Amino acid sequence: GQQVMQIPQYQHVQEGEDFTTYCNSSTTLSNIQWYKQRPGGHPVFLIQLVKSGEVKKQKRLTFQFGEAKKNSSLHITATQTTDVGTYFCAKDNSSYKLIFGSGTRLLVRP
Amino acid sequence: DAMVIQNPRYQVTQFGKPVTLSCSQTLNHNVMYWYQQKSSQAPKLLFHYYDKDFNNEADTPDNFQSRRPNTSFCFLDIRSPGLGDTAMYLCATSRGRVMSSPLHFGNGTRLTVT
């Protein structure tokens, strides 16, 4: 199937350390979205990447879209306890369906 | 504020007893989605509506049905819930006029089947 894999599944870091999650697709993506879900909460849209090689930043978060548009990454610099949650990438197809990756759960030790 | 609202927040039902979950939106979005999310898993798309056009995922059980009587409301009906249907059910909307517009999620309904 047209799945999107994310690694790692879990990441436990000390506050202040960096964190990166990777999203990989077997097919070329038209675009990719990233969401954050806090424990007990619902997914919240973070950003969308469309162009090959695109890099976007939101404060301590850096998002990249691969040159071949088959992979993407989210990097958090100097994690804080407020960054705790599960980060999902999500891909769409031509029918307005958004399919979520497997997610990376981030835990931050204070 | 424009929102996606799901009711109830928590629902407990007995094995085999029909249950309906509701979702409303004030965003006037064309597309409404239902996702199922089990513990420590990614949200799984069950179906979506583009306006009144219903789109079912191939692996969504027949047990799951949906209705969208108007733009603002969408319902998820589970005709004969099984224990494996215990999950968080998330409703989401998107504008739909532009492919890949972001999803706006409700707070979800946590369903427990006993």
| Rg over CA atoms, chain A | 13
For chain B, say whether A62 makes contact (Cβ under 8 Å). Answer: no
Task: Give the tens place of pLDDT for each residue, A42-58.
Answer: 999 999 999 999 999 99
Taking an 8 Å cut-off on Cβ atoms, the answer to whether B94 and A48 are in contact is no
DSSP H helices, chain A, are none
Cis peptide before A8 (omega within 30 of 0): yes
Predicted local confidence at residue B100, as pLDDT:
74
Task: Give the tens place of pLDDT for each residue, A55-90.
Answer: 999 999 999 999 999 999 999 999 999 999 999 999
Q: Which of B48, B90, B103 sits opposite A45 (nearest CB)?
A: B103
Distance from CA of A16 to the nearest CA of B (A): 25
When pLDDT is averaged across residues B70-77 and rounded to a whole number, the result is 97
The confidence band for A2, taking pLDDT boundaries of 50, 70 and 90, is low
Cα(A71)–Cα(A13) distance, rounded to whole angstroms? 23
Taking an 8 Å cut-off on Cβ atoms, the answer to whether B100 and A97 are in contact is no
Contacts of B43 in chain A (CB under 8 A): 43, 88, 100
Report the DSSP pairing between strands A32-37 and A44-49: antiparallel
Please check the confidence at residue B17 and state whether its pLDDT lies above 80: yes
Q: Which of B42, B57, B96 sits opposite A100 (nearest CB)?
A: B42
Interface test with B, best of A6, A37, A89, A98 (most B CBs within 10 A): A98
Task: Give the tens place of pLDDT for each residue, B40-69.
Answer: 999 999 999 999 999 999 999 999 999 999
Please check the confidence at residue B1 and state whether its pLDDT lies above 70: no
Taking an 8 Å cut-off on Cβ atoms, the answer to whether A97 and B40 are in contact is no
Burial class (CB in 10 A: 0-12, 13-18, 19+), B45: buried
Q: Which of A42, A48, A50 sits opposite B106 (nearest CB)?
A: A42
Distance from CA of B14 to the nearest CA of A (A): 23
Task: From residue B28, give the alpha-carbon distance in Å to each of B25, B51, B73, B107, B113.
Answer: 7, 10, 10, 18, 32
